[in-house]
Copies of this chain bind each other. A is one copy, B any other.
Amino acid sequence: MTGTTLDDYTDRYARRVRGMTASEIRALFAVASRPEVVSLAGGAPYIAALPLDAVGEMLGRLGAEHGATTLQYGIGQGTPELRERICEVMALSGIDASCGASPEDVVVTVGGQQALDLVARLFLDPGDVVLAEGPTYVGALGVFQAAQAQVAHVPMDDEGLIPEALETAIADLARAGRRVKFLYTIPTYQNPTGVTLSEERRERVLDICERAGLLVVEDDPYGQLGFEGEAPAPLRARRRDGVFYLSTFSKTFAPGLRVGWILAPHAVRDKLVIASEAQILCPSGYAQAAVSTYLGTMPWRQQLKVYREVYRERRDAMLDALADLMPDGTTWTTPAGGLFVWATLPDGLDSKAMMPRAIAARVAYVPGTGFYADGTGSGNMRLNFSFPPPERIREGVRRLAGVMEQEIAMRKVFGAVGGAGPRRRQGGSDAPGPDLA
């Protein structure tokens, strides 16, 4: 069997990944990681804000004193210690025993990504439809694509997902005879927009899904990173049933440990554990001990405050720089938490086509197209403010503004540049129904 034959073999049979190509964002990150480039493209927490000496000491003890258990196999659901701690963390945002949250129904996962993949594995069959905000998390699009499901984007505005658009989407899909499995939503400090679903809309979205018999998959990696007081309570805090709650320690502690979780409806908890065992046997006992010991012995609430302060300062630096430097016609969101600002470019600019020139000017961002399953979003970009320090953020925005000014000037002289055509949608609320991709 030669390499070519194997290639044929793969092409013939590998249906599950048919259509997958190396992610544009992955390729982009390789370029963006050069030191001379100001990267506003990432989504990484500012790990240097952790007390690394103390964390290192704790990690050492977990190996030296508890290695016989932490370095050994564990159980598929995750350690009871960590699942208890996770319930303490969720209780901070109102998900507690009063709404049925229990360590029994927590499944520890390899970051938030595996949490999402497990839910997809449990529920999605090829040809199914998933409703999701437009734009949405690029990693979720990868999961749904791998499951051969289609994504119907529901438009957002400054208050998040638009309930009327959700109702229309559900009705349209029902009329078209499509099988919709769940709504995937990041209601708080959303990735990529930074937008938060308002208090009033949370109830309406839940009611709509309940009436339609639709499950809700609530992804909440950023909920504890608010800059302006508390966010509205998570959807799971409002409904005991019908909501899968997914979160992670990647933004509040350390992504390199790969520890996330699902709080699952009790009826399917065991199925999730079995699916996870088939995938990874068990989550890392060492990483779980690291997180539960961190939560049990170190001042993690104080550390959350540190992260919030660092990120608020950086968000402010970004908003100030955008206001001072961006060309007329540019707009952007004003996130009350999280890691990202979502910018809408002046008419006629194409964030994807502009990318090579931005890299040449030593600044990187993620083009909006990465966050839609249907190729829209070329009029948008995602800007990260959690990782670069304030002065680098300002410098990055300055370089970006320079590139955009040039594009606008060239466009005035030569017409559209870099293949930018008419944009189909910009993530606004103008699209009335679902856009199947």
Q: A residues bordering B, Cβ < 8 Å? A: 1-7, 9-10, 13-17, 20-23, 26, 43-45, 47-48, 50, 52-53, 55-65, 67-76, 110-111, 113-114, 117, 121-123, 125, 139, 142-143, 145-146, 181, 210, 213, 215, 241-242, 250, 254-258, 265-268, 270-271, 274-275, 277-287, 290
Contact = CB atoms under 8 A, between A and B. Distances in A.
A143 to B, nearest CB: 5
A123 B14 contact: yes
Interface-central residue, A16, A20, A275, by most chain B CB under 10 Å = A16
**Protomer copies:** 2
Given A10-B267, A64-B55, A72 B255 contact: yes
Given A1-B241, A110-B279, A113-B281, 6 more contacts: A6-B267, A13-B181, A16-B125, A53-B64, A60-B60, A113-B278
25 contacts: A1-B210, A1-B213, A1-B241, A3-B266, A5-B242, A6-B215, A6-B242, A6-B265, A6-B268, A9-B215, A17-B122, A20-B271, A23-B274, A44-B72, A45-B72, A47-B71, A52-B63, A55-B63, A56-B63, A56-B65, A114-B279, A114-B280, A146-B275, A256-B286, A258-B287
A52 B70 CA distance: 11
Nearest to A15: B125
A85 to B, nearest CB: 18
A15 B133 CA distance: 26
A104 B266 CA distance: 43
A278 B117 CA distance: 7
A110 B284 CA distance: 9
Contacts of A256: 69-74, 284-286
A284 B287 contact: yes
Nearest to A13: B123
Given A68-B47, A139-B281, A265 B14 contact: no
Nearest to A280: B110
A63 B60 contact: yes
A1 B242 contact: yes
